[in-house]
Chain A
Amino acid sequence: MLSIKNLHASIEGTPILKGINLQVNPGEVHAIMGPNGSGKSTLASVLAGREEYEVTQGEVIFQGKELLELSPEDRAREGVFLAFQYPIEIPGVSTTNFLRTALNQIREYRGQEPLDAVKFLSLMKEKMALVEIDQKLLSRSLNEGFSGGEKKRNEIFQMAMLEPKLSILDETDSGLDIDALRIVSNGVNKLKSPSTATIVVTHYQRLLDYIVPDVVHVLYQGRIVKSGSKELALELEQKGYDWIKEEVDTAKATA
């Protein structure tokens, strides 16, 4: 589904991603872990098409298409969804209105009729139950004055509504209490299907108790330096990142 080859990206001339290789197949869940500042959000942003980041090398194929050639909105319409680490506030625009605009543009791109109000509402009801979100929240200004947890839950609600092929969750677990974490993870799990894939960016292994990854990658200094099974996450939880850093640094020194 997603194939990243030797991806390099920089911001304002500073290289951040230095040769990422990653293969994600339908039905898989990949976790990306790594210390702060290692480039996890950058990778997510580059995949979503944020313009500040300049791709200097490499290619990304998403469902047979050159992802990097597409505009951010077309990537979304092709089925790439990013749950933001820091969701953005849009005053005066309700989640409902926002999603209706989004969904209908996505449908138009796919040659589908826009959803009428009745169908849209029933879809909303169904997905609201999935992430246990309150209707009141959805009629308030998007993310404005939302608590950290509400913002994250709203991101997952949007994901549920837009039914993406590939979901990238950027630290969706941070700022969530244990109940919210369970609800959010539940939502993500229910949305999983053999034809969709998920990339979970996280610091903590606790999320991976709920969303069980097929592969865990460690991102460090703009490269994936280690990949393994879900046990790798446990190991990281116990030992921290220092041993990985050391491994990388020794490898560099001997190279």
Chain B
Amino acid sequence: MSKDNQLLEDLTSKEYEHGWSVNYEADEAPAGLNEGIIRWISSKKEEPQWLLEWRLKAFATWQSMAEPSWANVNYPKIDLQALKYYSAPKQSKKPKNLNEVDPELIAIYERLGISLNEQKRLQGIAVDAVLDSVSVATTFKDTLSKLGIIFCSFSEAVKEHPELIKKYLGSVVPIQDNYYAALNSAVFSDGSFCYIPKGVRCPMELSTYFRINAANTGQFERTLIVAEESSYVSYLEGCTAPQRDENQLHAAVVEIYAAAHAEVKYSTVQNWFPGDKEGKGGIYNFVTKRGICAGDYSKISWTQVETGSAVTWKYPSCILKGDHSVGEFYSVAVTNNYQQADTGTKMIHIGKNTKSRIVSKGISAGKSQNSYRGQVQVMKRAQHAINFSQCDSLLMGNACGAHTFPYIDIANPTAKVEHEATTSKIGEDQIFYCNQRGIATEDAVALIVNGYAKEVLNQLPMEFAVEAQKLLALTLEGSVG
């Protein structure tokens, strides 16, 4: 066994690739959290009065709430008063197009391997890049606007489409939903807004790259996607954060609204800084993601590849309100070293003939802890609801943990709910078999893990599936058990 451990050590020692930060001049709020800071953020962003009031209400709600402790994660208490709640790169004027964007910001994205120009030219992906708190560039706007699609930063949407924001903000994740959602509602800095009009099929993947750059800045993104009747959109969120010693808090909220016959695919590839090998530093990722299938025959599909963050607490969920609506959750969560992940989903069946599918693939290595937590709830009215859940865990080494917490709550006897779970280990014989064909151990693990996660990776758009495969390999770099 000591041989294994040695191998594990050797192979998991890969340092975080995106660990650097750029010293750009920041325009930031002083540390601390109080009503004054919230007013400061709101005025900095030139927000309308109703939104300030909404934030203040959220702040008051948040103050009455306690930090949740039910998740299977351990971390020192976060001093929310020590954080800064707003940090924006200083720019003399707002960019109109990519050519006007600060070349240094563009360079940051290029170092991340995401050249906006490249993306624009080669991939046909509209990217709304969020650096810390302000969207610095939005591409493809013209093409999209011809179809009536709105894809812009949240701040811009507040200015340009206040009626839509007013209507949908907080409609899926209400202020009082949970501690971190309330906090986000009070202090959210920026994010993305996406609106697909009736009958429109968005012709390209919409993509946001998030990045946390400034030290001690909590990142509070807010994303809102509204898909009108019979529309379709596929949205991808990717993120990286530079290496920092202190933990950084990230508490985002994503809301999705799908009208009748609409379909929204939301994919995440998360590789935030997971902390170093000793468990020092890393991002605390406490995210609330929820979609409502409001109309009949609507569909929301979450796909996530979670490889980063020190602590992850995240349950992308679907409220299946419309009859015949469909919710899906496909997840790969990888933890290594001292990472902790408590992730899963909630499928709430309200409408008749609603269907949900959960495929969760956990991979744990090092001394990490990886938990699946999922809830399937079938309400009284939900005749003939169907759920299928598959929760698999893959262990590497003997020092990590994998846990499954399924909650099933059925109030209608016509429901069909199936739950399958497996736990396996990467076998030495599998590795040896690969070795014997000339495949190095690191690549063997990548191959085996990608095979294990295939069902989920297949859900991702092609280019991102390739990216995700590389990330899985990078995070594990040949952990063997």
- Name A's B-contacting residues (CB within 8 A): 48-52, 71-73, 75-77, 81-82, 84, 87-93, 97-99, 101-103, 105-106, 109, 141, 158, 162
Q: Do residues B438 and A109 form an inter-chain contact, with CB atoms below 8 A?
A: yes
- Other-chain contact of B451, A51, A75, A91, A158 (Cβ < 8 Å): A91
Q: Considering the complex, give the chain A residue whose CB is closest to the CB of B424.
A: A91
Output the least CB separation between A187 and chain B (Å).
17
Interface segment out of the listed B53-61, B112-120, B131-139, B439-447: B439-447
Q: Do residues A76 and B429 form an inter-chain contact, with CB atoms below 8 A?
A: no
Output the least CB separation between A100 and chain B (Å).
10
Q: Do residues A98 and B430 form an inter-chain contact, with CB atoms below 8 A?
A: no
20 residue pairs A–B, Cβ–Cβ below 8 Å: A51-B3, A51-B432, A73-B436, A73-B438, A73-B440, A73-B441, A76-B435, A76-B437, A84-B433, A88-B429, A90-B433, A92-B452, A92-B454, A92-B455, A93-B448, A93-B450, A93-B451, A105-B438, A162-B437, A162-B438
Q: Do residues A73 and B435 form an inter-chain contact, with CB atoms below 8 A?
A: yes
Output the least CB separation between B52 and chain A (Å).
51
B427 within 8 A of A: yes
Cα separation A90 to B453 with both chains bound (whole Å): 12
Q: Do residues A48 and B440 form an inter-chain contact, with CB atoms below 8 A?
A: no
Cα separation A13 to B162 with both chains bound (whole Å): 76
Q: A93-B451, A141-B451 are in contact. Are A99 and B433 (CB under 8 A)?
A: no
Cα separation A81 to B433 with both chains bound (whole Å): 11
Q: Do residues A158 and B430 form an inter-chain contact, with CB atoms below 8 A?
A: no
Q: Do residues B450 and A72 form an inter-chain contact, with CB atoms below 8 A?
A: no
The 3 closest A-B pairs by CB, nearest first: A92-B451, A93-B451, A72-B435
Q: Do residues A105 and B439 form an inter-chain contact, with CB atoms below 8 A?
A: yes
Known: A87-B433, A90-B451, A141-B451. 6 other contacts (CB 8 A): A51-B428, A73-B438, A76-B435, A88-B429, A103-B438, A109-B438
Output the least CB separation between B108 and chain A (Å).
32
Cα separation A87 to B443 with both chains bound (whole Å): 19
Name the A residues within 8 Å of B435 (CB-CB): 49, 71-73, 76
Q: Considering the complex, give the chain A residue whose CB is closest to the CB of B455.
A: A92
Cα separation A109 to B440 with both chains bound (whole Å): 11
Q: A92-B454, A101-B443, A101-B447 are in contact. Are A76 and B438 (CB under 8 A)?
A: yes
Interface size for B (C-beta < 8 A) is 24
Cα separation A98 to B453 with both chains bound (whole Å): 15
Residue interface bits B439-481, CB-to-A below 8 A is 1, else 0:
1110100011011111100000000000000000000000000
Name the A residues within 8 Å of B452 (CB-CB): 91-92
- Other-chain contact of A93, B3, B428, B441, B447 (Cβ < 8 Å): B447
Name the A residues within 8 Å of B451 (CB-CB): 90-93, 141
- Name B's A-contacting residues (CB within 8 A): 3, 427-430, 432-441, 443, 447-448, 450-455
Output the least CB separation between B211 and chain A (Å).
31
- Other-chain contact of B436, A82, A89, A91, A141 (Cβ < 8 Å): A82
Q: Do residues B438 and A77 form an inter-chain contact, with CB atoms below 8 A?
A: yes
Q: Do residues B447 and A76 form an inter-chain contact, with CB atoms below 8 A?
A: no
Output the least CB separation between B451 and chain A (Å).
3
Output the least CB separation between A154 and chain B (Å).
12
Q: Do residues A105 and B450 form an inter-chain contact, with CB atoms below 8 A?
A: no
Cα separation A102 to B293 with both chains bound (whole Å): 45
Name the B residues within 8 Å of A162 (CB-CB): 437-438
Name the A residues within 8 Å of B447 (CB-CB): 90, 93, 97-98, 101
Name the A residues within 8 Å of B450 (CB-CB): 92-93
Residue among B435, B437, B453, B454 facing the most chain A CB atoms (10 A cut-off): B437
Q: Do residues A88 and B433 form an inter-chain contact, with CB atoms below 8 A?
A: yes
Name the B residues within 8 Å of A101 (CB-CB): 439, 443, 447
Cα separation A77 to B429 with both chains bound (whole Å): 19
Cα separation A247 to B375 with both chains bound (whole Å): 70
Name the B residues within 8 Å of A102 (CB-CB): 434, 437-439
Q: A50-B432, A51-B3, A93-B447 are in contact. Are A158 and B454 (CB under 8 A)?
A: no
Q: Considering the complex, give the chain A residue whose CB is closest to the CB of B453.
A: A92
Name the B residues within 8 Å of A103 (CB-CB): 438
Name the A residues within 8 Å of B448 (CB-CB): 90, 93
Q: Do residues A73 and B433 form an inter-chain contact, with CB atoms below 8 A?
A: no
Name the A residues within 8 Å of B438 (CB-CB): 73, 76-77, 102-103, 105-106, 109, 162
Name the B residues within 8 Å of A90 (CB-CB): 430, 433-434, 447-448, 451
Cα separation A105 to B442 with both chains bound (whole Å): 12
Residue among A72, A76, A98 facing the most chain B CB atoms (10 A cut-off): A72
Q: Considering the complex, give the chain A residue whose CB is closest to the CB of B433.
A: A88
Cα separation A218 to B87 with both chains bound (whole Å): 77
Q: Considering the complex, give the chain A residue whose CB is closest to the CB of B435.
A: A72
Name the B residues within 8 Å of A52 (CB-CB): 428
Q: A162-B437, A162-B438 are in contact. Are A72 and B432 (CB under 8 A)?
A: yes
Name the B residues within 8 Å of A141 (CB-CB): 451
Q: Do residues B433 and A158 form an inter-chain contact, with CB atoms below 8 A?
A: no
Cα separation A68 to B443 with both chains bound (whole Å): 22
Output the least CB separation between A140 and chain B (Å).
12
Name the B residues within 8 Å of A76 (CB-CB): 435-438
Cα separation A158 to B434 with both chains bound (whole Å): 12
Q: Do residues A158 and B432 form an inter-chain contact, with CB atoms below 8 A?
A: no
Cα separation A99 to B436 with both chains bound (whole Å): 12
Output the least CB separation between B425 and chain A (Å).
13
Q: A90-B448, A92-B450, A93-B447 are in contact. Are A158 and B437 (CB under 8 A)?
A: yes
Output the least CB separation between A200 and chain B (Å).
17
Cα separation A84 to B433 with both chains bound (whole Å): 8
Q: Considering the complex, give the chain A residue whose CB is closest to the CB of B448.
A: A90
Name the B residues within 8 Å of A88 (CB-CB): 427, 429-430, 432-433
Output the least CB separation between A136 and chain B (Å).
17
Cα separation A97 to B439 with both chains bound (whole Å): 12
Q: Considering the complex, give the chain A residue whose CB is closest to the CB of B432.
A: A50
Q: Do residues B454 and A72 form an inter-chain contact, with CB atoms below 8 A?
A: no
Output the least CB separation between A145 and chain B (Å).
14
Cα separation A50 to B428 with both chains bound (whole Å): 10
Output the least CB separation between B202 and chain A (Å).
30
Output the least CB separation between B82 and chain A (Å).
44
